[in-house]
């Protein structure tokens, strides 16, 4: 990779300030399900990476993980362990065998409920790893608007650098695009300097056309990222939905010049799946979107499988899951 290319890949994008709602653009958006499904199937069926190339892709995937714990029984102790794993996602012997000490590899962020933001911020101090807080009535998004906005502001005040909000699905299902735009714009304003990741909860939007339209409206309203799912829906991150959303990102970038990030979340548990998502980003959006400024994977158990695959690359043996427990 040439030096200028590397600089371009690693530089942070100019933040999306949002643009006026363009209903003609939104309503022109269509989705051909059969074509989308054929293209999605081709991503993993015809492409494979092995050995050293696979290890490199998996290291990239680690750097893009939003390491997440969103359980009702979260405690400060398990959040501290999660943060320790985010700072050192691979065991020292694997790092040494791969000779990647200079990478100072970490995950992209740690994602928690608001209550755990102060604990995560303190645990990650000095690491450069941002804390992301789920907010705005997560996961259902049905609490009063003033409560959702207050929750965002409190998480930002507590030190969260990224806010993962959830939209009101009814706005999409009823075609209330102005209401959706106003809602996301209000969330963006409440975030201030913190980056806004808008969760579309795509498994509850009914059609791929709705996914495409909601993606555009969320970006027009100023989202820094668009995200597939809360992880609590029946259907979470799937490649056909990702294809629709990444093409909406590409369209938005071509029309406005602003780069918006993408975050699949929910159900991504295997190293193979992480490579499928990286392949999608590379082929649909290009190398700029292979960096954690513009791509994240919301996951909890994924890191364990990636670590197993990297240990196999190093030793020729798969470690048992019990030897590589998540905190």
Told to judge if 263 belongs to the known catalytic residues of this protein, a careful annotator would answer yes
- Full strand arrangement of the beta sheet holding 65-68: 261-263, 225-227, 195-199, 162-166, 131-134, 109-112, 65-68, 297-299
Which of 66, 85, 87, 164 is the catalytic position? 164
Place of tokens 């190293």: 271
Which of 85, 87, 197, 227 is the catalytic position? 227
Told to judge if 276 belongs to the known catalytic residues of this protein, a careful annotator would answer no
For residue 60, give the nearest of 316, 227, 287, 319 by alpha carbon. Answer: 287
Told to judge if 182 belongs to the known catalytic residues of this protein, a careful annotator would answer no
Q: What positions carry a catalytic annotation?
A: 164, 227, 263
């Amino acid at each position: 990779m040439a030096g200028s290319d590397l600089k371009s890949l690693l530089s942070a994008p100019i933040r999306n300030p949002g643009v006026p709602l363009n209903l003609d653009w939104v309503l022109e958006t269509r989705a051909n399900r059969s074509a989308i499904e054929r293209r999605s199937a081709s991503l993993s069926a015809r492409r494979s990476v092995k050995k050293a190339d696979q290890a490199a892709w998996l290291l990239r995937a680690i750097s893009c993980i939003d390491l997440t714990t969103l359980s009702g029984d979260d405690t400060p102790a398990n959040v501290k362990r999660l943060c320790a794993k985010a700072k050192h996602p691979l065991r020292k012997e694997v790092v040494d065998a791969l000779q990647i000490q200079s990478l100072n590899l970490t995950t992209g962020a740690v994602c928690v409920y608001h209550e755990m933001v102060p604990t995560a911020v303190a645990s990650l101090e000095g690491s450069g790893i941002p804390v992301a807080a789920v907010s705005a009535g997560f996961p259902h998004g049905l609490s009063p608007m003033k409560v959702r906005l207050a929750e965002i502001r409190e998480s930002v005040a507590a030190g969260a650098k990224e806010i993962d909000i959830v939209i009101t699905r009814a706005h999409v299902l009823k075609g209330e695009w102005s209401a959706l735009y106003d809602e996301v714009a209000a969330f963006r304003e409440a975030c201030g300097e913190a980056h806004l990741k808008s969760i579309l909860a795509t498994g509850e939007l009914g059609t791929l056309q709705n996914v495409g339209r909601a993606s555009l409206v969320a970006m027009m309203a100023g989202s820094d990222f668009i995200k597939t799912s809360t992880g609590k829906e029946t259907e979470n991150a799937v490649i056909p939905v990702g294809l629709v959303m990444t093409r909406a990102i590409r369209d938005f970038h071509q029309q406005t010049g602003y780069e918006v990030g993408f975050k699949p979340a929910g159900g991504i548990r295997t190293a193979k799946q992480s490579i499928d998502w990286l392949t999608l980003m590379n082929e649909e959006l290009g190398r700029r979107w292979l960096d954690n400024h513009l791509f994240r994977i919301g996951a909890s158990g994924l890191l364990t499988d990636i670590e197993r695959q990297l240990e196999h690359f190093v030793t020729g043996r798969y470690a048992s899951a019990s030897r590589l427990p998540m905190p």
